[in-house]
Structure 1
C-alpha cells in the first residue's frame, strides 16, 4: 500500500465511491418499484371491533379473522393496486351458489354484501374486506370442512376427520382462485351426489311426483296385471329415470318389470317382479325428503380425507347398505353382503388396520351376552354349554371352533377399543333378508372365504387349498398379515354407483334427521 502513488490511491477511492453511490441508487429504484407494484395498504385494527358490533351474527368467525389480520399486519387481503382481486369475486360467486353444494343454512347479511358488491371496486372498502374474510371462513366451514368434529361425534361418527389448514387454503386461493372449483377437495362420491342433487331439484321445481294411491285391500301387482295403479307407477319411475318412456299403459309388461327391478335394486329390495305395498310406500317418499337425504350424505363426504381412496388397498363397509367392498389398486375386487348390529347394539362408525386373520376361531362370549343369554340358559338346562359346543375358560365362556361356531370358520381382526371385527357365520340365511341388522355389533360377512383368498393372494405361503384347510381344521390358528389393510366402517344412507344411479338405503340408526337439523341451524 505504501508503494502506491498518492494520485492513484485517490483515484481508486473516487471510483469505489461512485460505484457504491450507483449501487445505492439502483437498490433505491428497485425498492421504489417493488413498493409501487405491491399493495400493502393497512387499515385501523379497531375497525374489526366496529364491524362485529354492526354484524354480530358473524362473531363466531371473529377469532379466526383477527388472527388472519394480525398475521398480515392488518393489510387488505382482498384488494390489490388494481382494486378487488379475482379471488374476492370467486368467493362472492361461491357464496351465491352454496345451494349447489347442498348448504341449506342461512347466509347472514347476504343482502348487505350483495349491495356492497355493486359499489366501486377500485378502492378498498373495509366492510367488503371484512365480509369477504368472514365469508371465506363460512365457505370453508360449510363446503370444504363440514360441521366440526364435536358435532359429528355426537352422531357417533368416530372415523378420523379430514384436516384443513384454513390459512394454507386461503394462501392457495389467493395465488390461484380457480382451485376453489377443483374436484379433488372431496372424495369422488361428493361430486356424484352433487350432480344428482341438481337433477332432483329440477324434478322438484317441476312439481315433483304425486303419491300413488292404491285401492282398499290392495295386496300386490304381478306381471301381466292391468290397473290404474300400474300407470301411476310407470309415471313415477319415468321421473327418476328408471324407465325411458312414459307410455301411459296400465299393463304391467316387460319394460315396466325391468324398470321395477332397477328401482328395487336402487332401494335395497329383493329383486322380484311382484310389486307390494312396501314398494309403493317407498315410491311415495316425497322428493323433498330424497333431497334432504342427498344433502346429509354430501355432508358426510366432507368428513372423509381424499387420501382414503388413494390407498393401495382398503376395505369399506357401509352400514345402511349392508355391504362390504374391497378395493385393490383403485378397483373393486369383491362385494359382499354383510349383517350389522341391531338398533340396541349398533355397529360403530370408525376405522382400523386389519392385522390378523384367525382360522377356526374360538368365540369368546362377551360378558353382556353371557349374563343376559347364556347364564339364564344354563339355569334352565344343565347341558346348555355342551349342546352349544361351549366351555368355561376361567370365569369366562367360549365356544369351541367348528362349523356351528357363532363366528363361523374365520374372523378378520383390526384391533380396536370397540371389539368389532369381521367374521363368518353359520346363519347364512340372514344374508338373503332385505334388512340385515341382526348382530351384537360385529360384522358378519357372506363371502369370508373369498375375502381371505383375496387378502392372502400375494402371500406365496397361502393357496386357496391351504386357506380352506385352515378354516375347517377345527383348531384355532392365527396369521399375521405382512401388510396391514385399512378398514373403514361408514354410514351413508344414499350412494351413487359406478353407473350414475343413486341408491337409497334405510336410515337404520335414525341419524339423518339429526344431522339435517345441525345443517340448517342459523348461526
Structure 2
C-alpha cells in the first residue's frame, strides 16, 4: 500500500513538473516572468515577432525600429524598463526630458503624445509589451533629437565633414537604467552646447518680456561720438542693458563713459572692430530681432551635437572658426594662442573638416592651383608677357609656381595637414587684411596673422628648433620641409554663435548663408 501511494505521489509530481515547465515556456514566449542568475532580478521577455506588430499599430515610430531592435537583440528580448517595483525611474526621467525639449532648442511634434501621457498617469504600470516598446521608442526619440542630432547624410548636404564619434546609445541606456542621474551630467556633448543652452533660456526670457524695440535711424544720421547727446543714445542704452552689455539703464541721452564701455563690449561680441563711434551698421545689428538671435543659438546648439567630446581631450589641437575669422591653438588644456585669420570668400568657401597637421614648410613655393591659373594667371599673361617674372613666378612641370620670398602669396611659412581639399594654414604678405572686420578673401586656404608665433609654440618642445632658427628658416629663400614629431589635430568649424568662458554670447555673420538651411532642416525633423 505504501509503495502504491509513493508511486502515485511521484507520478503527480512528474505531471506537475511537466505542466510548470510548459507554463514557463509559454510565458517566455508571451511575456512571462522568469528569474535569471539572481533570485532578486526580475526579467520579462517577449517574442521578437511582436516588434513588427507594434510598428504596424504605431507606424509614426518606425524611424526608431532599427535602434529598438538593436537594443533588444543586445538584451535577448528581455524587458529593460521594469524591475520588481514596477516601471524604472529612468522612464520618468526620459518622459520629463521629452516634455521639456524646448529647453534643448527643439520644437518637435511628439508622435502619439496622448498615448504616451496615458502611460504615466499611474505611478507605476505593470509590465506589458506595448508599454515596454513605447518607452524604448521614446528613449530613442529623445536621444536622436537632443543628443545625436540630424542624420549623417544631411551633414554632407550641409558641407560639414568634421568626424562624428560613433556613440552607442544602447550602452548609454544601460548606464541610465542603473543610474538615471547620469543624464544630468554634461559628458554626452561638448561643453559649448550647455553654455548655449543657458544663454537660450536668457534670450527666451527677453523674448517673453517683449524683446527689444527697433531703433529707427534718421535718414540724415551720420555717427554718434562720445559725449554726444541724442534720443538715439537713450534707445541704444536700453538695448544694451537688455543684453547685459551695461549693468543698468540710467535712461540718459548723453553718450557717457558707461555707455562707451558697454558699446565696446557689444562690438567685441558681435564681430566689429573696436571703435567708440556708433554708426548705422552697429544700430542695424542691434535691430536684429530677439527671435532671430534665438534661432541662431538653436542652430549652433545643433552643430554642437555633431562634435565628438574627444576633440578637447587631445594634448594640443587647433580650432578655426570660419565666421569669427579666428584661430585658437590649445595646448595642455589651455589657450596658447589666438590669431585672426582670413578665410575663403563666398565663391571659394573654406571647407569644414578635420585633419592632422604633419608638416611645417619654411620659405614655401606656391604651387598655383589650376583653377587660378586658368581663370586669373593665363588671362594676365595674355595681357602682359612679363607677368610671371613680375610676380616671381615660373613654369614648373607643366604648371605655374611662385618662388619663395617675402612677396610669395603663402608668405614665409605654411602648415600642412594633408587633405583632399588642398586646404592649409599659411602666412601672407597682405597683412592689412587682418584688420578688416570681414575677412573672407582667400581662395579657400586659411591665412594666419601670427604664423611665426604659431610655429614657435608648435616647435616649443622640439630641441631641433629655437626662435632664431625658425626665423632664419622662414627668411632663407629656399624651401625646406620639417616633419612634426607629434601630429596636431586641426578642426575647421562653422559657428555663428559662441559662448566664452565668462558666459558671454558672441554672434558672427553667417558668411556662407548656412544657418537658414540648417534651421529649415530642423523644422522638417
What TM-score do the two structures reach when normalised by structure 1?
0.91
Alpha-carbon distance in structure 1 between the residues aligned to 2:497 and 2:334: 21
Q: Secondary structure at the match of 1:217?
A: coil
Note closer, same or farther for the CA distance 1:160–1:232 as it changes in structure 2 (3 Å cut).
same
How far off its partner does 1:52 sit? 2.2
Determine whether 1:372 maps to 2:375: yes
Determine whether 1:172 maps to 2:179: no
- Say how many residue pairs are matched: 492
Q: Identify the residue that residue 266 of structure 2 maps to in structure 1.
A: 263
Higher mean displacement: 507-516 or 165-174: 165-174
Alpha-carbon distance in structure 2 between the residues aligned to 1:410 and 1:35: 66
1:99 pairs with 78, 97, 102, which one?
102
Listed one character per residue, the Cα deviations across residues 26-49 of structure 1 (whole Å, up to 9, x for unaligned) are xxxxx9796652222234545433
1:476 pairs with 475, 479, 482, which one?
479
Determine whether 1:216 maps to 2:225: no
Q: Identify the residue that residue 519 of structure 1 maps to in structure 2.
A: 522
How far off its partner does 1:149 sit? 1.1
How far off its partner does 1:266 sit? 0.3
Alpha-carbon distance in structure 2 between the residues aligned to 1:65 and 1:436: 47
Q: Identify the residue that residue 80 of structure 2 maps to in structure 1.
A: 77
Note closer, same or farther for the CA distance 1:273–1:378 as it changes in structure 2 (3 Å cut).
same
CA contact (8 A) 1:422 1:444 kept: yes
Q: Identify the residue that residue 193 of structure 2 maps to in structure 1.
A: 190
Note closer, same or farther for the CA distance 1:45–1:120 as it changes in structure 2 (3 Å cut).
farther
2:146 pairs with 136, 143, 149, which one?
143
Q: Identify the residue that residue 308 of structure 2 maps to in structure 1.
A: 305
CA contact (8 A) 1:268 1:504 kept: yes
Name the Cα RMSD after superposition: 1.6
Q: Identify the residue that residue 425 of structure 1 maps to in structure 2.
A: 428
Listed one character per residue, the Cα deviations across residues 410-430 of structure 1 (whole Å, up to 9, x for unaligned) are 001111111110000000010
CA contact (8 A) 1:162 1:302 kept: no
1:354 pairs with 339, 353, 357, which one?
357
2:458 pairs with 433, 455, 459, which one?
455
Listed one character per residue, the Cα deviations across residues 334-368 of structure 1 (whole Å, up to 9, x for unaligned) are 00000000011000011111111111111011100
Note closer, same or farther for the CA distance 1:110–1:361 as it changes in structure 2 (3 Å cut).
same
Q: Identify the residue that residue 158 of structure 1 maps to in structure 2.
A: 161
Higher mean displacement: 489-498 or 102-111: 102-111
Q: Identify the residue that residue 8 of structure 2 maps to in structure 1.
A: none
Alpha-carbon distance in structure 1 between the residues aligned to 2:106 and 2:165: 18
Alpha-carbon distance in structure 2 between the residues aligned to 1:327 and 1:70: 42
Higher mean displacement: 243-252 or 166-175: 166-175
CA contact (8 A) 1:145 1:162 kept: no
How far off its partner does 1:317 sit? 0.4
Where structure 2 has 5 or more consecutive residues not aligned to the other structure, the ranges are 1-33
Note closer, same or farther for the CA distance 1:205–1:111 as it changes in structure 2 (3 Å cut).
farther
Where structure 1 has 5 or more consecutive residues not aligned to the other structure, the ranges are 1-30
Higher mean displacement: 47-56 or 317-326: 47-56
Alpha-carbon distance in structure 2 between the residues aligned to 1:179 and 1:53: 34
2:55 pairs with 35, 52, 56, which one?
52
Alpha-carbon distance in structure 2 between the residues aligned to 1:479 and 1:71: 49
CA contact (8 A) 2:35 2:42 kept: no
Q: Identify the residue that residue 9 of structure 1 maps to in structure 2.
A: none
Alpha-carbon distance in structure 1 between the residues aligned to 2:62 and 2:97: 21
Determine whether 1:199 maps to 2:202: yes
Q: Identify the residue that residue 441 of structure 2 maps to in structure 1.
A: 438
CA contact (8 A) 2:297 2:497 kept: yes
Alpha-carbon distance in structure 2 between the residues aligned to 1:32 and 1:45: 19
Q: Identify the residue that residue 123 of structure 1 maps to in structure 2.
A: 126
